[in-house]
Structure formats: structure tokens, C-alpha cells
Structure 1
Amino acid sequence: MGTNMIQTTAHFLERNQLYKTEKPYSLRFSPPEGFPRQSTKLEEHEIDVQDVRTAGPLSYATEGCTVLDFQSLMEYDDYYDEEKVKDVYLREVANLLRDYFGASKVQIFEHRVRKRHVKFPLATGESYQYDQPTSVTHVDTTLEWVLSMVSRLNPERSEEMLKHRVQCVNVWKPIKGPVKDWPLALCSAGSINPTEDLEPCDLVYADYVVENMQIYHTDKQKWFYLSDQMPNEAWIFLQADTQPGAVPGEPPTEIVPHVAIPIPEVILGEYPPRESIELRALLFYETSQ
């Protein structure tokens, strides 16, 4: 294996006949006694992950993801100040996305800070103060869920907005660097078979439901990560797109699965726990592109 490649592990959805008749789900709250918390069955696979730091930059046009140089005005402590995140960081990212994609409107609908607990990935039975890295491969949304989000956020204008192209992207970056602890790995959109590798899944919260995509493993999938990622290096990756040829209910195209991965030679606790911020945004265009 070359110096720009590591071998690690990630969790994938197990191929199960159950999902042919029952949609997989995962409850994000404590259910009544005796009610299964999830129907998703996972399996661990080894994956080869290429380091784009040494292998060369990625093309968003072909891979569905890329790393941008993003110089934020935010200081470390600012990311734990919700008002500063909303007033400064979200505005900065909206401008970044508008400039990079040429979108006429950017609508950020979710953001979160993740800070790994020192015990993760071991379960402690406690509620963590911050969201933890996600060790299960997934895509954040389905196209159907994105279209419903457009309607919920823009009830009076959604019909007109949906006449043109809409994209959903994720922007992810560390708060501290360099990241040596559970970095983010992404799968090339071109290496995914949309009819064979993806399974819609309901993430059920106490008051709402998110439909995402769980991933089946194949050896054809091509994974990337950025070693020693710094706070000025932001991943941007596609999660849903009404074009080209995207049809609700049909297998999606050009979307990017992702997952947090352990670095094999790194001993748990050897480096500071990963701290990161991510957001999901809708991109609108005045004309279909």
C-alpha cells in the first residue's frame, strides 16, 4: 500500500432481506420498554482510504467533493458561542457557497459542533454534551427529504423555487488542527452504484423524521481523507441534487457518502479529541443549469 493510502475500518449497512419489505429506521430518543431502538443491522468492513494531501486535489465535478481554502474570522472559542456562529460563521459559509457554486440563494438549515468524548467510540451510557463523530457510513439526506425541506422552509415560494435546480451540500471543517483523531472520510460519487449501494433510512427524533441514505459496502467504492486537516481547510460535498436527471423515488446520482474513521497507527488518547463544525445548506438557482 502506497504512502498516500491507509487501511482502516468503517461500519456499513448489512445486506438483509428484511429491508425489501421494511424500511430501516433508527430512533434518536429512548423508546418505550420492549420497542427496538433500531432495525438497522451493521457490519464492519476494512476500507482503503487515499490521502488527498499527497495524492493531489479532488475535482468537485467528478468526485462530488473537494477541499477549499476557507479563511474564517472566527476564533476557537467563537465556535462554542451560538450567536457568533449564526452572525459570523454561517454568513461566511453562505458567501463561500454562493461564490463557489454561483447560486442565487443559499439557505443554511442546520449546523452542529462535534467534540469527541474521550471515551468514544466506547459507550458510556451517558448523554454527551456534544455530538460525536459518526462511525456509520451514510449520506445526510434523500432527494425527497430535501424537496420537503424546501417546502417547509419556504411555504409561500417553494413551488416557484422548485422549478429550478436545487442542491443540498455539506460543509465540514475542524475547529482545531491538525486533525489526527477521527478525521472525515468521503466516498467518490463516481464509485457509488446508486441502485445497489444505497438504502433509504428513517432517523426518528421525538418530534420529526429525517430520511437519509445508509450504505452497503463494495470493493469498488473509492474513499478519500485529508491528513492533518487544518481549520482553514473545508470539505464541501454534495448530498442531493435535482439535476442532472434526478427524479424523486429513483436512485440518486452524484452524492457523497461519508464517515469518521480511526487512523490505524494513532492510539486512542494520543492526540486531542477531534473538534469540528458542519452545516447543511440548500443552494438555489434562478435558472435550471
Structure 2
Amino acid sequence: MNENQHYWAFCFYLIHRLMESSIRYLARSPIFEKEKAFSTDFPVDHVEGARRTNNEVDDRLVTVAEIKNSSQWKLDVHGFCLLHADTHLDRKDVYTKKKEIQNDYWYEIEAILHKNFPQYSRIEGFDLTVRKRDPDFPAVMRAYRPEYEQPSSTAHSDYSQKGGFLALQHCFPGQDDYWKDKEFDMLKSLSVWRILAPTDDWPLALCDYTTIDPKEDIRLNDTIRRDLVGECSLLHYNQAHRWYYFKNQGINDLIVFRNSNSHGKLPLGGFHAAVSNPNAKGAPRESVEVRVVAFY
């Protein structure tokens, strides 16, 4: 780090309230000179020579700054923004009746997004994921549970440009003609909530896209599932990255970020990761997230 970078890093420390934590990056492995990055979510031990992934992790200590002014963050500049809106979701039902209640919650989120982003002509929800941190996560990684998932501590964006099309083909089969030649965004809105009060346990950290070098820092990764192959974007470490989190997030504080754009417009992804808060005093984090496609 040169003298000028040291100066601006020092200014960053002075201006923001900081949290020291760790983020799991993708290592800059020489294997990517001959192989595309890939990962699977199922065992392959029964196949001779098969690997579940060629990813190598690069855990880095990072400084995560508190978001003070929520209005300064712009979806089309930083890759994410923050909204405040009333949402209604029964905490018990989200675990036991997810299929029954997800359509109503999609409609609620879609209405909020239409109000705040009038440039979109159509918004469709297609996924609802619930996360509830096991008390011994991340030391112990339990088997997949259909009712909820664990936080993701890997710096990533859910879909690449190609991955957005693959997700649409899977979630909306037979509708290819509708989105042909149309521009769309793959968005995700995340609301962290508790039954009584929000928790400071494992908050979501977001990387300011203006601090990312798209050519050097972003790596496309094939995500191989039992029923489909998708493509996401992973992040290589760069000391220029600046990470932020929403301290004291309430149940009606929404974080919205772009995962990809069909025409490859910047920002290319809202890169995010769950981070351990060394000063956390709250109960294990519970969150619910919705993925939507938004057509211009």
C-alpha cells in the first residue's frame, strides 16, 4: 500500500464506525488459467476422479463500516440501496408454511419495489429463502435443511449475466419469447427480522461496487445443482474493497441489491456476505430474502 492509499485508509477509519471481521474470498488460483471455477451442492464421491469444486478459499480480515446515511447508497452506482417499508410475514409460518405464504410476500415485495423503482414495467418474485443460524455455525456445517439455510460467508453475487437467463429459464419455463431482446435486472431484497427485536448476530455486509475492479476481481462460477446448472459471480480479494453493514437493522429495513443485468450494465453485481460480529449480543440471526426479476 502506497502513502496515498494509507492516507485514505486512515480517513476511512476516522469517518466510519468500524467492525473487524472476516470475509471468505475466492483465491486467485492458477487453476483458473485452464479451468472455469465451479462448485456443486451434492456429493460426488461415488464418481472416480470427480471433485465437488475447484475453488480455493481466501479468508481475509476486513473492516466493515456502519452505514450511517441510508439515502447515499444508489442501486445503479453502488450495487445496493436501502429502503424502509412495512412488511407482514408471520415468523412461525415462514418455517412451516413457506409455500402457502410466499406468493403473498412476493406481491408485497413487488409492490414496494414498483413504488421505489418506477422504471420497471414488470417485477416477478421467483424465490423465497429463509436463513436461521445454527448456534454452532460456522464451526459445524450441518446437512441441508429444507425449512431454512445457513448464512453465506462467501463474497458473491447470486447470478452472473448468463446466470440470470439460466434462472429465468428454470423458474419460468416456456416464457423465453417474453424476455427475448428485453432488458431486465435480477434483484434481491433482504429483510432481517426477529420476533421481538432485530439482532446484531452475523449481519449482512455489502461491498461498494465503486471499489471493485470488474476485470480483475470478479470470477464467473458454474453452480452445479441436481436439477440445473447456473452461474454466479465470486469475488477475489482486493485491498481497495470497502464493506458496509446496516447496524441496528429493523424488521422493516430492506436491503435491495442487483445480482445481474441482462445487458451487462454496471454495477455487475451487488456483492455481499454474512460476517461474524465479534461484539454480537443478540440471538442467532434469522432472515428472509426474496429474489425477483425486474423488466424495464
TM bin, normalised by shorter chain, reads 0.7 to 0.9
Question: CA-to-partner distance for each residue in 1:266-289, whole Å, 9 max, x for gaps?
Answer: 3xxx4211000012111012xxxx
Deviation string 1:96-141 (CA, Å, 9 cap, x unpaired) is 1222222111121211100001110012554445200001111101
Residue 183 to residue 58, structure 1, CA distance change in 2 (3 Å)? same
Q: CA separation in 2, counterparts of 1:78 and 1:53?
A: 33
Cα distance in 2, alignment partners of residues 186 and 42 from structure 1: 19
Judged with a 3 Å threshold, the aligned counterparts in structure 2 of structure 1 residues 281 and 19 are, in CA distance, closer, same or farther, namely same
Alignment of 1:21-100 (within 5 A): 21-33=34-46, 35-53=50-68, 57-80=72-95, 81-100=97-116
- Structure 1 counterpart of 2:83, which letter? L
Listed as ranges, the matches of 1:191-270 within 5 Å are: 191-243=211-263, 246=265, 253-266=267-280, 270=281
What secondary structure does 1:53 align onto?
coil
CA–CA distance in 2 between the matches of 1:87 and 1:96? 14
Hey, what's the Cα distance between the residues in 2 that align with 1:139 and 1:124?
A: 22
Match of 1:146 among 155, 161, 164: 164
Greater per-residue helix proportion: 2
Aligned pair partner of 2:123 in 106, 110, 117: 106
Contact 1:31 1:37 in 2 (8 A): yes
Partner of 2:260, secondary structure, is: strand
1:137/1:259 contact within 8 Å kept: yes
Deviation at 1:23, TM superposition (A): 1.2
Q: Where do 1:155-170 residues align within 5 Å? A: 157-170=175-188
The total of aligned residue pairs comes to: 276
8 Å Cα contact 1:187/1:257 also seen in 2: yes
Decide whether aligned partners of structure 1 residues 93 and 41 sit closer, same or farther in structure 2, where only a CA change above 3 A counts. Answer: same
Q: Which residue of 2 aligns with 1:249?
A: none
Cα shift readout 1:162-216 (whole Å, capped 9, x = no counterpart): 3232001111111314221100001112111111001111221112122111110
How many angstroms does 1:39 deviate by? 1.2
Q: Which residue of 2 aligns with 1:283?
A: 294
Kept after mapping to 2: 8 A contact 1:185/1:259: yes
199 and 254 in structure 1: CA distance in 2 versus 1, 3 angstrom threshold: closer
Give the secondary-structure state (helix, strand or coil) at the position aligned to 1:131.
coil
Aligned to 1:182: 202
Where 1:202 maps in the other structure, the secondary structure is: strand
SS in 1 for 2:68: helix
- On the 8 A contact 2:81/2:255 being kept in 1, the answer is yes
- Which runs of 5 or more structure 1 residues have no equivalent in the other structure? 247-251
Q: Deviations over 1:225-257 (max 9, x none)?
A: 0012111001000111134x64xxxxx644211
User: Separation in 1 of the partners of 2:19 and 2:171?
Assistant: 41
- Describe the superposition over 1:15-60 as per-residue Cα deviations: whole angstroms up to 9, x where unpaired: 0110121112211012134632221100111112111136874233
AA at the equivalent of 1:47: V
Report the Cα distance in structure 2 between the residues aligned to 1:20 and 1:283, rounded to whole angstroms. 34
Kept in 1: contact 2:192–2:288 (CA 8 A)? yes
Unmatched tracts of structure 2, length 5 or more? 1-12
